[in-house]
Each structure stands twice: as C-alpha cells, then as structure tokens.
C-alpha cells in the first residue's frame, strides 16, 4: 500500500490513502483494533489552496475524512482521501463500520460524494426533489422566504 501516515501536533495520526486502497486500508485498521468510526464527512476545497498535504498526494476538489478510534489502544487515526470532481465516487465502509450509514448519506446529500455499495444512497436531510448539494462551494445561496405562524404579513 502507498498510504502516507503523518503524525501531527499532539501525536495525531493522519493517513492519506488513495481511493483504490481506502476500503482495504480501513479493513486493516479494523484488524489492528480500530473498531469505532466516530466521524465521516465530505469536504469541498474548491478555490482553497491552503490545505496541507504530503508531497506525494495530488490535491482534488473533494475529500472524504474518516475518524477511527481504538478503545483498547486509546488511539485515534484520521483517514483523508482525495476525490476528483469528475468522478465523486468512493467505496462505502458499511461492510466494516455499519455505523457510517447515515454519515455517508449526509456526505452524499450535502456535498454530492457517492458511496458505491451503500444500501440506501438517498438524501437524509433534504427533501427528495432537492436540486444540488448545498455544502458545495459553487452552490447558489439563493433566498428562501420564511413564514412564521401568527406573524403579521407585510404592510
């Protein structure tokens, strides 16, 4: 595997892994005692050139970040995977960490990253007919009028 593990401040481990090695690396971490996925999210770096990546990692527009915890070893590791804008797909981790089901759906709903093999890759926060993914940097903010029950109308 060509995984690049970086140890940052406070001994925080961050593993930069390719999409192709993502599932198998997560599986190996599970075998090492990282049995709990505490967080999974999608990130849009459109126009942001300030993130720090190892020299061997090519930056892409999107990134999936997964935080894993080993209770037995009292250790954490964060996985960071670059996802290209032209093909925003990555394998689901549900076969290893069933608790990521809703986190993967949220990343799909809000950022538009598709988790291949997920049993229910549908929206979780927004209505089914919603157009687009609101946490993408190029998503139009727009305006939604809010009506409060019992409030006087415009004069």
Could you list the beta-strand ranges (E) of the chain: 4-7, 13-16, 36-44, 62-70, 75-83, 89-91, 114-116
Of the two residues 134 and 154, the one the predictor is more confident about is 134
* Domain chopping of the chain, boundaries: 4-116
The CATH class for the domain spanning 4-116 reads alpha beta
Q: How far apart are the first and last CA of the chain?
A: 67
Rounded to the nearest integer, the mean pLDDT of the chain is 92
pLDDT tens digits for range 104-115? 999 999 999 999
The pTM score is 0.88
Placement of tokens 């070893």 in the chain? 73
């Amino acid at each position: 595997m060509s995984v690049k593990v970086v140890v940052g401040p406070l001994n925080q481990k961050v593993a930069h892994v390719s999409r192709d090695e993502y599932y198998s690396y997560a599986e190996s971490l599970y075998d090492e005692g990282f049995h709990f996925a505490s967080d999974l999210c999608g990130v849009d770096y459109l126009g942001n050139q300030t993130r720090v990546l190892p020299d061997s990692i090519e930056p892409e527009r999107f990134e999936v970040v997964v935080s894993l915890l080993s209770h037995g070893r009292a250790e954490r590791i964060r996985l960071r995977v670059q996802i290209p804008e032209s093909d925003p797909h990555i394998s689901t981790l549900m076969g290893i960490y069933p608790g990521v089901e809703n986190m993967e759906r949220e990343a799909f709903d809000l950022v538009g990253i598709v988790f291949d093999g997920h049993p229910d890759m549908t929206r979780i926060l927004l209505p089914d007919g919603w157009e687009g993914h609101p946490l993408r940097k190029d998503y139009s903010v727009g305006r939604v009028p809010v009506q409060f029950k019992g409030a006087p109308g415009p004069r």
